[in-house]
Structure 1
């Protein structure tokens, strides 16, 4: 699943591919927002940990498990 994280004063969003469910990502975000000086953290599919201070969050977009077709649609 893809999660996009917007960080204040940064022009590019952080895109994280994670194996977490939508509910797990939402729970992590709720926990981070509830904590004093909280941090929102996720682990991507390669095992990298992404940590963003809650005070710097602009938005979090949680996508579904969507597969995209690969290749070209035309025949040769």
Structure 2
């Protein structure tokens, strides 16, 4: 485990990076907290997205007006 002094030194070094490099480092660090990406999950979502797009384009999907959906949701919350 890293000591506080080492952690502060690392943070100070990171703060000298350009804004772009700090943003990339931050993204990489946050992504590392999620663990390894699950290829099967990503592939399943790709398939589902394509299925939904096909349903919309073929006219099989019923598209709803956002204002109507929000009104229904608000009504359910009030009831």
Higher strand share: 1
The answer to whether TM tops 0.5 is no
TM-score, normalised by the number of residues in structure 2: 0.26
Higher helix share: 2
TM-score, normalised by the number of residues in structure 1: 0.27
Q: Which structure: larger Rg?
A: 2
